[in-house]
């Protein structure tokens, strides 16, 4: 396990994750003696006089003096900046300079802005196949229109990844960890080594891990992405996204946000900041609950397979233990049943809601075969490695005993199988 407290964090480097989540990056003295970060609901910012304007422009244009104020809402906002500083502090450092974070109106806004900024026609992207479906679609359609090719390699196959890299052409390696829905964990050291040997940049989407469980910058990754809609916001009430990296690398992406205009509203930024204050508390509890649920499901005769990186049976358990301080709040499992039985089981659950997200205080459950692959036949889903009986359970902060009791009663509604079937499935090689 990595001891994150050894890392040098911005703001309060010696503080733990809970203290950082509440305080890091914010100024102790806030406007009008407010304790909380004020929501600065202003589209533009005024200058006292022309001398004031010139002082600002000198700092902004020529670097003469420190730029300490905002100018226009698309370029920056004090509420948004407070969130960015907090997230930069939580994410640690690459050891080569200051970390910076740029907040966006959604996770996809952060991802697409990064891609459109660092890539140009004729270049090439390599990505692992388990990345968020919209990211892959964006690369294979929109980037393709601009003459940027994408190669997709199986997650966990580092030889395939290395072979897919074209020296001098591949600019970016994209991966995610843990992935959705099978929770594969990418070995960041191996990704970094391949990228370094081929002079590529690396982007890792760690929405499922959060900075509490994993800080990819500390493993030499260039760009970290989170959908802040998930754990960072944490309450299923706000959309947001963030890109984090060394400030030199992040600057062009901040500038691009000013051009694309996919900024986050100050009200949304405030909700995200409020969510971050309990990030560490929530995530630690969600880690514990998910681990217990995974262990409970693993021994249940009506569950064929459990996917959770905290289980020794998970293919990436070793790399997850090396790289993460917790295994996350999502558990996926295959039931002893088909598309229909699985839907019936989900309907029998009484605590989680059926919804396509994760990371909030409410537990959410979904059947990926329906939620994400409804347009495919059973055979097509099987060919994609997507089981009809797979359930993705994203734990909230409810009491673990209640969630397990709820699972127990829902599992009891699944018809019993013949003992011989159970034997065959549980012990197949």
Positions touching ligand PLP (CB under 6 A) are 106-108, 132, 176, 180, 205, 207, 227, 229, 239, 241
Q: Which long-range contacts (CB under 8 A, 24 or more apart) does 48-51 make?
A: none
Q: Rank residues 166 and 355 by Cβ distance to ligand PLP and give the closer one.
A: 355
* Orientation angle between helical segments 266-277 and 279-298, nearest 10 degrees: 60
**Nearer to ligand PLP (CB atom), residue 103 or residue 414:** 103
Q: Please indicate whether residue 132 is annotated as part of the active site.
A: yes
Please identify, using beta-carbon distances, which residue of 242 and 410 lies nearer to ligand PLP: 242
d(CA 115, CA 260): 13
DSSP annotation of 263 reads P
With respect to ligand PLP, which residue has the nearer C-beta, 56 or 223?
223
Q: How far is CA 2 from CA 7, 35, 215, 287, 322, in A?
A: 10, 33, 10, 16, 7
Q: Tokens in use for 197?
A: 């040997």
Catalytic residue selected from 30, 60, 69, 74: 74
Give CA 279 to chain center in angstroms. 13
Alpha-helical runs (H) found in 234-364: 247-260, 266-277, 279-298, 317-323, 339-348
Question: At its nearest, how many Å lie between ligand PLP and the CB of residue 241?
Answer: 5
Choose the catalytic residue: 85, 192, 230, 302. 230
The residue from 17, 205, 265, 316 that is catalytic is 205
Selected catalytic residue, list 100, 130, 132, 222: 132
CB of 184 to ligand PLP, least distance (A): 12
Active site includes 157?
no
To ligand PLP, the closest distance from the beta carbon of 146 in angstroms equals 21
Cα dist from 78 to 1, 26, 67, 152, 208, whole Å: 36, 10, 13, 39, 28
Distance (Å) of CA 40 to CA 78, 90, 266, 277: 7, 23, 6, 19
User: What is the signed CA dihedral for 226, 228, 232, 234, rounded to 10 degrees?
Assistant: -140
Q: Report, in Å, the least distance between residue 132 CB and ligand PLP.
A: 4
Are the C-beta atoms of residues 210 and 283 closer than 8 Å to each other?
Answer: yes
For residue 95, report the phi and psi dihedrals to the nearest 5 degrees.
80, 0
Nearer to ligand PLP by Cβ, of 111 and 397: the residue is: 111
> Is position 205 annotated as part of the catalytic site?
yes
Minimum gap (Å) between residue 239 Cβ and ligand PLP: 5
Residue number with CB closer to ligand PLP (56 or 104): 104
**103 with 83: CB under 8 angstroms?**
yes
Distance CA 139, CA 178 (A): 20
For 312, residues 6+ apart whose C-beta sits below 8 A from its C-beta are none
**Which residue lies nearest ligand PLP, judged by its C-beta?**
107
Given the complex with ligand PLP, which of 56 and 208 has the nearer CB atom? 208
Are 331 and 393 in contact, with CB atoms under 8 Å apart? yes
How many angstroms separate the CA atoms of 313 and 326, rounded? 16
Nearer Cβ to ligand PLP (132/296): 132
CB of 166 to ligand PLP, least distance (A): 26
Is 74 one of the annotated active-site residues of the chain? yes
Give the strand order in the sheet containing 353-354: 303-307, 330-335, 390-394, 364-366, 353-354
Q: Which residues are catalytic?
A: 74, 132, 205, 230
């Amino acid at each position: 396990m990595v001891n994150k407290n050894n890392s040098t964090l911005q703001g309060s480097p010696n503080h733990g994750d809970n203290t950082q989540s509440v305080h890091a990056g914010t100024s102790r003295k806030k406007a009008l003696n407010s304790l909380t970060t004020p929501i600065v609901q202003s589209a533009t910012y005024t200058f006292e006089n022309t001398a004031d304007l010139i002082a600002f422009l000198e700092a902004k244009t020529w670097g003469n003096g420190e730029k300490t104020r905002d100018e226009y809402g698309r370029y920056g906002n004090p509420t948004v900046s407070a969130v960015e500083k907090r997230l930069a502090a939580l994410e640690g450092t690459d050891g080569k300079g200051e970390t910076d974070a740029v907040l966006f109106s959604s996770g996809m806004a952060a991802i697409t802005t990064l891609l459109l900024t660092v890539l140009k026609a004729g270049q090439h992207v390599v990505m692992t196949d388990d990345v968020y479906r919209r990211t892959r679609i964006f690369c294979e359609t929109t980037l393709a229109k601009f003459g940027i090719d994408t190669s997709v390699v199986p997650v966990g196959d580092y030889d395939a990844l290395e072979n897919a890299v074209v020296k001098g052409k591949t600019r970016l390696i994209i991966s995610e960890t843990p992935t959705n829905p099978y929770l594969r964990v990418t070995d960041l050291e191996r990704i970094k080594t391949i990228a370094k040997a081929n002079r590529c940049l690396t982007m890792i989407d760690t929405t499922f891990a959060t900075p509490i469980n994993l800080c990819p910058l500390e493993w030499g990754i260039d760009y970290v992405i989170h959908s802040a809609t998930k754990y960072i916001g944490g309450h299923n009430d706000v959309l947001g996204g963030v890109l984090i990296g060394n400030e030199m690398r992040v600057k062009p992406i901040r500038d691009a946000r000013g051009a694309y205009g996919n900024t986050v509203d100050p009200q949304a930024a405030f909700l995200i900041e409020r969510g971050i204050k309990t990030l560490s508390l929530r995530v630690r509890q969600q880690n514990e609950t998910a681990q217990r649920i995974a262990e409970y499901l693993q021994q249940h005769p009506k569950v064929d397979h459990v996917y959770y990186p905290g289980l020794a049976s998970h293919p990436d358990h070793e790399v997850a233990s090396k790289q993460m301080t917790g295994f996350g709040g999502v558990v996926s499992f295959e039931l002893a049943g088909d598309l229909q039985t699985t839907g019936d089981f989900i309907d029998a659950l009484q605590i989680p809601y059926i919804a396509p997200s994760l990371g909030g205080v409410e537990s959410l459950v979904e059947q990926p075969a329906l939620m994400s692959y409804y347009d495919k036949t059973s055979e097509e889903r099987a060919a994609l490695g997507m089981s009809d009986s797979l359930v993705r359970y994203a734990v909230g902060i409810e009491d673990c005993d209640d969630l397990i009791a709820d699972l127990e009663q829902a599992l009891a509604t699944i018809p019993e199988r013949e003992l011989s079937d159970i034997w065959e499935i549980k012990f197949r090689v």
